[in-house]
Amino acid sequence: MGGWAQFKAIVRKDLIRELRTRDMLVSMILFVILAMIIFHYAFTVEEGSDLTWFTGGMLWVTFIFAMLLGLNRSFAQEKDERCLDGLLLCPVDRVTIFLAKTAGNLVFLLIIQAVAVPVFALFFIERSFLGDLLPFLVVLLLADLGICSLGTLLATISMNTRSRDLLLPILFLPLIVPVLIAATGATTLIFAEGTGFGSLAMRMLFLLGFDAVFLVAAWGTYDFAIGE
């Protein structure tokens, strides 16, 4: 009841805030592109080293680290002015808060990726993969959803602890490894060989399953993560 309107209100509030200050997006985009340049220097052993088999790894490591930056910001502002209390005082289901925060983080990640992926393709991918765009986007969305839902749950916890942004990577990185494995493999196969839906189906199903499991897990535990 009214959950959808509240969901929209929270997402809109976060978007307005971010598009006005741009402090998170600008940093994340700069970080992502810088990371690619760093990867280029780090992995190029000799003139014209073939980095094709590293592409999936580079891309997802970059996104996951960029998201860590964003997740810390996403709750810092709620915490700083005690806005979280204001939010919790509202007659809103806690799961709605979780879903809205996840959706907001997903939008930010997609914005970053919209900038980063073309630059990445320009830097590292020689063959045109426009024909494989659809499977790539499916993998991207499925992996993003897992990263954002799990990240939002853990950021909610870490913001209430003493070490805040120091804690989040330690909690988040070991848990996100399955997504990293599946998404990296799928992305590399797409970039390197143009593998289509057929042989990626297992990985996509796996990512879908991961998303489902952690949405349910967050559903069941978010009340505890955000309350008290």
Partner 1 sequence: MSDGQDRQDGGAPLEIEVEGLRKTFGRREVLKGLSFGVPRGGFLSIFGPNGAGKTTTLRVLATLLTASAGTVKVAGHDVREDPMPVRRAIGLISHNAMLYPDLTAQENLRFYADMYGLTDADERISDLLERLELSARRYDVVRTYSKGMRQRLAIARAVLHRPRVLLLDEPHSGLDPRAVDILDGLLAEIRDEHTFVMVTHNIAKGLEWGTKLMIIEGGRIAYEHAAGVDHDAFSAVYREHVHDGSVL
Partner 2 sequence: MKKLVSAPALFVGAGVLLVIGALLAFWYAPIDASSMGFSQKIFYYHAPIAAAAIAAFGVAFVAAIVYLRTQDLLWDRLGYVSVRIGLLFSILVMITGMIWGKAAWGVWWAWEPRLTTFLLACFLYAAYWVLRSVVDEEQRRATYAAVFAVVAFVDVPITFFATRFLPEGLHPVVVGPGGGGMEGSVALSFAVCLVGMLLLMAALIRRDVEIELIKDRVTDLKTSLGG
Q: Which residues bind partner 1 (CB under 8 A)?
A: 2, 5-6, 8-10, 12-13, 16-17, 20-21, 77, 80-83, 85-92, 227-228
Partner whose binding site includes residue 202, from partner 2, partner 1, none (CB under 5 to 8 Å by kind): partner 2
Q: Where do the H-state alpha helices sit in 45-163?
A: 55-80, 83-89, 94-124, 133-158
User: Does 199 sit near partner 2 (CB under 8 A)?
Assistant: no
User: Does 225 sit near partner 2 (CB under 8 A)?
Assistant: yes
Could you give the CA distance from residue 38 to residue 144 in angstroms, rounded to a whole number?
23
Partner whose binding site includes residue 104, from partner 2, partner 1, none (CB under 5 to 8 Å by kind): none
User: Does 221 sit near partner 2 (CB under 8 A)?
Assistant: yes
Q: Give least dist CB 81 to partner 2, A.
A: 21
User: Does 160 sit near partner 2 (CB under 8 A)?
Assistant: yes
Angle of helix 94-124 relative to helix 197-226, nearest 10 degrees, comes to 140
Partner whose binding site includes residue 26, from partner 1, partner 2, none (CB under 5 to 8 Å by kind): none
Contacts with partner 2 in 34-63 (CB under 8 A)?
Answer: none
Partner whose binding site includes residue 77, from partner 1, partner 2, none (CB under 5 to 8 Å by kind): partner 1
Could you give the CA distance from residue 109 to residue 145 in angstroms, rounded to a whole number?
10
Q: How many residues in the chain? A: 228
User: Does 151 sit near partner 2 (CB under 8 A)?
Assistant: no
User: Does 27 sit near partner 2 (CB under 8 A)?
Assistant: no
User: Does 76 sit near partner 2 (CB under 8 A)?
Assistant: no
Residues 100-137 as b/e (b if ≥16 CB within 10 A, e otherwise) read bbbbbbbebbebbbeebbeebbeebbeeebeebeebbe
Could you give the CA distance from residue 56 to residue 52 in angstroms, rounded to a whole number?
8
User: Does 177 sit near partner 2 (CB under 8 A)?
Assistant: yes
Could you give the CA distance from residue 116 to residue 118 in angstroms, rounded to a whole number?
6
Q: Give least dist CB 14 to partner 1, A.
A: 9
Could you give the CA distance from residue 80 to residue 4 in angstroms, rounded to a whole number?
26
The residue whose two tokens read 């949405």 is 215
Applying CB under 8 A, which of residues 59, 153, 190, 204 lies at the interface with partner 2? 153
User: Does 91 sit near partner 2 (CB under 8 A)?
Assistant: no
- Residue 44: both structure tokens together: 């190029």
